Amino acid sequence: MIKTAPNEGWLQAAFNGGHAYRDRVSAAYPSVVAFYAGRYTHSDQAVWSERLAAGEVWRNGQQLMADAPLAAGDRLVWHRPPWQEPAVPVLNKASVVFDDGDLLVLNKPSGLPVLPAGGFLQHTLLAQLQGWAPEARPVHRLGRFTSGLLVCARRPASRAWLSAQLRESTAAAQPHSDQHHSGAEEHPSSGCRKIYRALTQPLPADWPVGESRDVTTAIGRRPHPLLGEIWCAADSSAIAALPSRSCFTLLERRPESCLVEVAIATGRPHQIRIHAAAIGVPLEGEPLYYAGGRANPQVLPGEGGYLLHACRFVLRPPARAPLHLEAAPPLRLRITPGNMPIVGERWFTEA
């Protein structure tokens, strides 16, 4: 078994060098401002007018100082000025769970975004990798405040088979005929197994410690005033709703929360957060998803407050034995000593 300890150290808040956002116009627009307000809904037309007047927008290689109509095929560049990025944790040697020169598995700290998004450009895990593993690229994502196992690969072929495993696991995900069963862990002949720990609001009283239950609420996009659209619980009959499956196992009841283990058979955006909310028990400290799985219209996905940790993965490399990986959860996500239930195949050892 391969283990790692939580890492320490922070990259302090600092200004980046700005960024150029490039777009190609697919159809005629009455104005540049109208295009940008529809393309980047985080800012209204008044804000885009200010940016245009400041000389931040270029069209077909020419700086624009006033609004103008756009034709199909026009190329736009918004030169966003430098902005301050928040402080984030720093990866270090203790962050490495596994490294064979190709696969690189990290214990991502909570608070570190994986890829540029949501106001982060340089304060990301990807940017930190460039300093010591420049060929490595993340194969999947974890939310900014989700900690734990993040799989990267250096070779394109390895990224391909890892992605194929994720697709295969997703395609094979079907709900159990009996949704009340013991043991969240399954043993697929192929694909990967992904196990998380989380704290939720109190589960129903009829859910005994050690029991596992499937959640198969579909996940889809709904309107959101700050983002345009956001991932939420959706009716399975809705157009573009994605079938999703998580298996929640109750590990321990606490005075005002429950410790759960979650095995996910699909990898939808914010899946565990949405599924916990969908069954009426949002993650403890969850700022975004209401009970039922809908989103707070005044909150963005990158806001924290919850505890969610990717603690165990099983990967199946071609022509090799399965690779078992683990990252010990933070203290609040560990079972109270002496209170360990026997649930399925428990090869994870509390540290």
- Give the model confidence (pLDDT) of 272-321 as tens digits: 999 999 999 999 999 999 999 999 999 988 899 999 999 999 998 887 88
* Residues near 336 by beta carbon (within 8 Å), at least 6 away in sequence: 252
Range(s) for CATH 3.30.2350.10 in the chain? 89-168, 178-333
The domain 89-168 is placed in CATH, from the list 2.170.190.11, 3.30.1110.20, 3.30.2350.10, 3.40.50.970, at 3.30.2350.10
Bridge partners, 250 (sequence order): 260
If we measure between CA atoms, which residue out of 31, 123, 45, 41 comes closest to residue 76? 31
Spell out the CATH class of 19-81: alpha beta
Give the residue-averaged pLDDT of 73-102: 95
If we measure between CA atoms, which residue out of 316, 272, 306 comes closest to residue 166? 316
Identify each DSSP E strand in 236-277 by its residue range: 246-253, 258-264
Rg over CA atoms, the chain: 22
Tell me if 103 sits within 8 A of 69, measured CB to CB: no
The reply to whether CATH 3.40.50.1370 applies to domain 178-333 is no
State how far the Cα of 21 lies from the Cα of 42, in Å rounded to an integer.
Answer: 14
Range(s) for CATH 3.10.290.10 in the chain? 19-81
State percent of the chain over pLDDT 90.
Answer: 70
Give the residue-averaged pLDDT of 33-53: 92
State how far the Cα of 95 lies from the Cα of 117, in Å rounded to an integer.
Answer: 22
In the block, tokens 């000025």 appear at 81
Q: Give residue 1's pLDDT.
A: 36
Comparing 1-10, 84-93, 330-339, the range with the smallest average pLDDT is: 1-10
Q: Give residue 7's pLDDT.
A: 44
Tell me the pTM.
Answer: 0.85
Is the pLDDT at 122 greater than 60? The verdict is yes
Three-state SS at 232 = strand
